[in-house]
Amino acid sequence: MVTFLGMGLLGSNFVRALINKGEEVRVWNRTASKAAALEQYGAKPFENIVDAVKGAGIVHLTLKDDATVDSVLSMAAPGLQPGVAIIDHTTTSMPGAIQRTAQWKERGITYLHAPVFMGPKEALEGKGFMLVSGDQDVVSRYTPVLSGMTGKLLNFGGETGRAAAMKLVGNNFLVCLNAGLADTLSLARALQVPVSDMSTLFENWNPGNSLLFRMGKMSGGDYSQPSWELDMARKDTGLFMSAAEQAGIQLSVIPAIARLMDHWIGKGHGEEDWTVIGSAPVNE
């Protein structure tokens, strides 16, 4: 018996995917109507969370944050039987994942944090990525279940909380990517460059192909053989800001990057590779 707690877009589609594979799934949500809406697909909704988890072998969570996870599990606790596995797909803090793993283990219950890089569509289709880490016996035990829910299950080893950390690192990159793209679109507007021309550029020149190279360069510690000198990168950054200012357009991310570049230029790194800006905290 499987129970799912949290019927947002992601949780709802996980439930539908499990039902499509022949699983019997109980569902619960604080807003009961969201759980009831899944009855049409074959789910069994419950208004009482304790009843929803009674007899379940696995309880999945797709909630908002640490506080919500702790609150929902506290409400569900009277119905959780010894030996049940709590599999939490919520994006949470690393300390929260570590603490919950230890706390529930003391109560004879497995807690496994398995955050995802999946949207609702991927959850329904069983695509995307799911992350796990921690006790490898536990990971091995539930690998068949989790592998069936995702396109690829990534195991980051025996350190509890590492999956939570990797999820945050990945989301940090996505936030930075979107913020950088927002500034890029703003600069294009300032320069009267149509989106169609941008599409032509990026269809032919894909800077994402150099991601692993740049990450290695940035973390490697040797910036003595530049492919793009920091001074020159800073000059171009000034051109971005000047063009936007002349068009009355505000850039959000680039000014902060310019300040970071100025910091490293002020420390004498202007002739080094521009990836030096990621070598250490600015308050070193």
**What is the C-alpha to C-alpha distance for residues 34 and 6, in angstroms, rounded to an integer?**
9
% of residues, the chain, pLDDT over 70 = 98
Q: Could you tell me if 227 and 87 lie in one domain?
A: no
The burial of 200, by beta-carbon neighbours within 10 Å (0-12 exposed, 13-18 middle, 19 or more buried), is given as: exposed
Mean per-residue pLDDT, 119-132: 97
Q: Which residue has the tokens 């310019």?
A: 258
**Residue 234 and residue 190 in contact, taking contact as beta carbons nearer than 8 Å:** no
**Residue 82 and residue 57 in contact, taking contact as beta carbons nearer than 8 Å:** no
Q: Could you tell me if 9 and 98 lie in one domain?
A: yes
- Check residue 283 and give its pLDDT: 54
Q: Is the pLDDT of residue 60 over 70?
A: yes
Q: Could you tell me if 104 and 23 lie in one domain?
A: yes
The reply to whether 15 falls in a domain is yes
Nearest to 145 by CA among 118, 104, 124, 114: 114
Q: For residue 153, give the amino acid letter.
A: L
Q: Could you tell me if 15 and 147 lie in one domain?
A: yes
Q: Could you tell me if 109 and 212 lie in one domain?
A: no
**Residue 132 and residue 156 in contact, taking contact as beta carbons nearer than 8 Å:** yes
The reply to whether 183 falls in a domain is no
Q: Could you tell me if 206 and 147 lie in one domain?
A: no
Q: Could you tell me if 213 and 149 lie in one domain?
A: no
Paired with 25 in beta bridges are 2
- Check residue 279 and give its pLDDT: 84
Per-residue b/e over 101-124, b at no fewer than 16 CB within 10 Å? beebeeeebbbbbbbbbbeeebbb
% of residues, the chain, pLDDT over 90 = 98
Query: Among 160, 176, 200, where does a domain finish?
Result: 160
The reply to whether 174 falls in a domain is no
- Check residue 263 and give its pLDDT: 96
Q: What is the mean pLDDT of the chain?
A: 96
CATH number, domain of 63, equals 3.40.50.720
Mean per-residue pLDDT, 105-127: 97
Each residue's pLDDT tens digit, 64-110? 999 999 999 999 999 999 999 999 999 999 999 999 999 999 999 99
Rg of the chain in Å (alpha carbons): 24
Domain span including residue 263: 192-278
Residues 6+ apart with CB under 8 A from 186: 244, 249, 250, 251, 252
The reply to whether 186 falls in a domain is no
Q: What is the pTM of this model?
A: 0.94
CATH number, domain of 205, equals 1.10.1040.10
Q: Is the pLDDT of residue 281 over 80?
A: no
Q: Could you tell me if 31 and 107 lie in one domain?
A: yes
Q: Could you tell me if 156 and 199 lie in one domain?
A: no
The reply to whether 165 falls in a domain is no
Residues 6+ apart with CB under 8 A from 33: none
Q: Could you tell me if 32 and 120 lie in one domain?
A: yes
Please count the residues of the chain: 284
pLDDT interval class at 161 (50, 70, 90): very high
pLDDT interval class at 282 (50, 70, 90): low
Q: Could you tell me if 134 and 17 lie in one domain?
A: yes
Q: Is the pLDDT of residue 211 over 60?
A: yes
The reply to whether 180 falls in a domain is no
Q: Could you tell me if 23 and 144 lie in one domain?
A: yes
Paired with 268 in beta bridges are none
**Residue 134 and residue 113 in contact, taking contact as beta carbons nearer than 8 Å:** yes
**What is the C-alpha to C-alpha distance for residues 98 and 24, in angstroms, rounded to an integer?**
30
Each residue's pLDDT tens digit, 225-243? 999 999 999 999 999 999 9
Q: Is the pLDDT of residue 284 over 90?
A: no
Q: Which of 62-76, 206-220, 257-271 has the lowest mean pLDDT?
A: 206-220
pLDDT interval class at 25 (50, 70, 90): very high
Domain count, the chain: 2
